[in-house]
Amino acid sequence: MHVDREGFLFLAAAIAACHDARTPNVTLNASPPHADAAPDPCAGVSRDNAHVLARPMNACMTEDGDDDRTAETTALRKKLVGTKNPLFDYCKTGHGTWLVVLLSSQLTAPTGESGRCGASVDYQLVFVSADGRVTSKPRHWEGFADEDKSSVVAAQIDYDGDGRDELVLEDHEWSNGGGGESNAEVLRATPSAIEPYPVGFEFDGVVDADHDGRPVHSLPNGTFSMSDEAARKWAKQKCPTPSPPQSDDGEEPYRAASCRRIWGESVASITKGLSTTEECDSTDLATMQTFLKPAVPFKPLGE
């Protein structure tokens, strides 16, 4: 086979020139492009939650289940969308970010004395850290004529110095004929789940009594105390004597019994003779006894 050597070399040179023209220059020592900033975990939270509230899953039905209660449903939709519940907009960044994500909302009429329509919301607590995102099991908020269930965020702080904020919630429940109950809970985020943080005793609220940025009374090492000086000072403000002045807050039986207890009186002495809810002024005896027994020792105020 005959090959035109000069023609071949010319064609190869032309192809090489064309390739060089199409290939951009590459600088091997060029700096890598800047990494995109991490997305803001709070971006869009309020908007997305408002979207869930604006579109409840079902309307409220009559007792026979045939027709929508149009006027009542319309009013409830407006009420639900207009609910200024701080929990529904909660998103705060500290040592990691805690936020509330609404899953669904409903308008419904549960079985009850009034049979009136009400609203309920299912949501999750979400913790976002630099190394991942964990969520709680679904939780529930509801507001009906005969019952109510809600939570508010009382505090967000890194109790134990592990680089992840814990979350303090105050939970409230009320039912027509059953009265109300309030409790507080501390939650922590592990790499795989959101779980209760061991406090060591029951409590129903939190307050920063000594203005150190920590609820009464969590200690800087991540533990909790009922007998440190800050806690004792707060207790003396509430119970200056074993028999504090009467109040109008509906908690008189608990308040009086608690003051007697933290001044050193025994549970047996305080509850002696109390055997019915009437004698306890609608306070169950077993509940009273449990309430008066702290899970950790404390030094009475009188000592």
Query: 185-203: per-residue pLDDT in tens?
Result: 999 999 889 999 988 777 7
CA–CA distance, 12 with 14 (Å, rounded to integer): 5
**Higher local confidence (pLDDT), 63 or 104:** 104
Torsion angles phi and psi, residue 210, rounded to 5: -105, 10
Least confident window among 150-164, 217-231, 258-272: 217-231
d(Cα 287, Cα 280) in Å, to the nearest integer?
10
Contact (CB, 8 A) for 88 and 137: no
Place of tokens 């009382």: 154
For range 114-136, the mean pLDDT = 87
At residue 267, φ and ψ (nearest 5 deg) are -60, -40
pLDDT at 126: 96
**164 has pLDDT over 80:** yes
Phi, psi of 229 (to 5 degrees): -65, -40
Rounded CA gap, 42 and 20, in Å?
49
Average pLDDT over residues 220-234: 80
What is the distance between the alpha carbons of residues 137 and 192, in angstroms, rounded to a whole number? 12
pLDDT tens, position by position, 80-91: 665 678 898 899
Choose between 253 and 172: higher pLDDT. Answer: 172
Nearest-angstrom CA–CA distance, 126 and 153: 13
CA–CA dist 250, 247 (Å, integer): 8
- Continuous segment of H or E residues that includes residue 91: strand 91-94
Predicted TM-score of the model (pTM): 0.67
CA distance 68 to 115: 14
Domain ranges of the chain: 45-224, 227-303
C-alpha of 93 from chain center: 14
Compute the CA torsion angle 156, 237, 235, 151 (nearest 10 deg). Answer: -30
The pLDDT, as a whole number, for residue 131 is 82
pLDDT band at 254 (very low <50, low <70, confident <90, very high): low
What confidence score (pLDDT) does residue 14 get? 35
Would you list the DSSP string of 56-109? -S---B-TTSSSB-HHHHHHHHHHHHT---GGGG-EEEESEEEEEEEEEEEEE-
End-to-end CA distance of the chain: 116
Distance CA 269, CA 263 (A): 13
Cβ atoms 155, 199 nearer than 8 A: no
Between 126 and 131, the more confident residue is 126
pLDDT beyond 50 at 168: yes
